[in-house]
Amino acid sequence: MHSFNYHIPTEIVFGKDTELQTGKLIRKYGGSRVLIVYGGGRVVRSGLLDRVCKVLEEEGLAYEKLGGVHPNPYLHFAIEGVKKSIEFGADFILAVGGGSAIDTAKYIAHGTANPDIDITRFWTRELKVTKTMPVGVILTISAAGSEMSDSAVLTNVETGVKRGLSTVYNRPTFSILNPELTYTLPRYQIACGVVDIMMHTLDRYFCPAPHNHLSDEMAEALLRTTIYNGPIALENSKDYDAMSELMWCGSISHNGLTGLGNKTDFAPHQLGHELSARFDVAHGASLSAIWPAWARHVYKSDVSRFARYAANVWGIRGSNEEAAAIAGIHATEEFFESLGMPINFTTLGVGLQGEADLRDMAYCCSYKSTRTIGAFQVLTEEDMYQIYKAANC
Ligand code: NZQ
Ligand code: ZN
């Protein structure tokens, strides 16, 4: 087992009507002037925003609203948010929504706490975040896991680069998880979430040996739980138990727990970010479209690991390890398809790409030939190209 530090400061408040506790929680963590960050207006239409504003008023908290966060959120929007937050004198940022609203809120918090620094310099990692201000979350979609994660992902539309920043300062102060708030999700977003939850787990599970037995067992249990409940949720988005399981799986999948003691890989996420930056496709869809090609490209690095995955997650025991490994990849692909998720570029809806475009994707994903990605198998720019090419069908 590798050495690790594990500190999760996020208070989780789970259950029905828990958003009514928002005002008290903000008070508890010292907030008095709150910037509320949300997305495309759905929380306005559903009445959730009004309910939240009311409980803030009851608690005597001043607030300002900032709507309009785009899915696959933009760096320039967060920069505008920082200005608004500073003008208002915010001392607490509240995200209402999914990963896009939460990640924007995290950056706004960093910018507000560091008014002399352009947050672009954090985004490029030129500067490290050394202080921030508290961020609270009311989660409305089980997917990105940002409600407990140390990560925030923004796209710079000027450069066309989507990238994540990991820092302990990205962990929210509290997150409110009311599964009923996810009842309004369209099927497609539920399916995207199921894929993302699985991928946060798989991107940790497929890592170089030595492996940590306990983390592996937890990862496999989380995957089985998600695979079991995903189709139930798709069938009936008002199934409280299924939506609860997905919500908690989403948080645990990306709070670091399932990868403790192991190295993480996250190459599929990096390959997928390039697809989202280029085609503005949903994050979950970018992952299911690339994972089968990634898995077939790398499984020989550790066939036993893929065979274990097939056995413990899918109940597949092949005639030999290689057959089992391949069958496990196939089962994953079929599951994604059964959710209505893409498994290649055609089903992703971006069409077949030309040779020059595939090369350019690899070039961009490798940050202009300056980085490798992954740890299960370290991928060079040529590997990235081969994977994009394999998905190009
Ligand atoms: O824009 P709104 O109105 O909020 O609508 C959203 C959006 O259109 C909608 N939605 C959310 N809750 C809903 C709902 N529609 C109906 N009913 C509800 N209850 O769903 C759409 C997607 O929302 P978004 O916030 O973009 O989804 P998600 O949580 O999947 O976040 C995706 C973003 O998070 C990043 C992704 O790359 C992507 O940019 N990630 C962030 C991570 C992190 N910070 O730790 C890790 C992830 O791997 C991921 O990279
Ligand atoms: Zn993800």
Q: What are the tens digits of pLDDT across the range 291-314? A: 999 999 999 999 999 999 999 999
**The tokens 């496999």 sit on which residue?**
220
Structural Rg of the chain based on CA atoms: 20
Residue range(s) in the chain whose domain bears CATH number 3.40.50.1970:
11-182
**Distance from the Cα of residue 194 to its chain's centroid:** 11
- Please check whether residue 296 is in contact with residue 390, taking contact to mean a CB–CB distance below 8 angstroms: yes
**Distance from the Cα of residue 96 to its chain's centroid:** 16
Strands 161-166 and 92-97: unpaired
Ligand 1 pocket: which of 77, 110, 153, 291 to mutate (most atoms <8 Å of CB)? Answer: 153
Q: What is the pLDDT of residue 210?
A: 87
- Alpha-carbon distance 70 to 86, whole Å? 21
Verdict on whether the full-model pTM lies above 0.75? yes
For residue 200, report the distance from its CA to the centre of ligand 2, in Å.
6
For residue 301, report the distance from its CA to the centre of ligand 1, in Å.
33
Ligand 1 pocket: which of 141, 151, 202, 246 to mutate (most atoms <8 Å of CB)? Answer: 141
Look over the chain and give the mean of its residue pLDDT values, rounded to a whole number.
Answer: 97
User: In the 8-state DSSP scheme, what is residue 172?
Assistant: -
Task: Give the dihedral sign, CA 225/227/233/236.
Answer: negative
Distances (CA, A) of 23 to 33, 136, 143, 146, 368: 11, 10, 25, 21, 46
CATH 1.10.3210.10 assigned to 187-391: no
Using the atom order of ligand 1, give the atom closest to the CA of residue 70. 1
Indicate whether 318 pLDDT > 90: no
Q: What are the tens digits of pLDDT across the range 190-230? A: 999 999 999 999 999 999 988 899 999 999 999 999 999 99
Q: What is the pLDDT of residue 41?
A: 87
Nearest ligand to the C-alpha of residue 146?
A: 1
Residue range(s) in the chain whose domain bears CATH number 1.20.1090.10:
187-391
Residues with CB under 6 A from ligand 1: 39-42, 71-73, 97-101, 103, 140-141, 143-146, 149, 151-153, 181-182, 184-185, 189, 192, 196, 254, 269, 283
Q: What are the tens digits of pLDDT across the range 236-268? A: 999 999 999 999 999 999 999 999 999 999 999
Compute the average pLDDT of residues 116-139: 98
For ligand 1, atom 48: residue with the closest CA: 144
The fold for domain 11-182 equals: Rossmann fold (3.40.50)
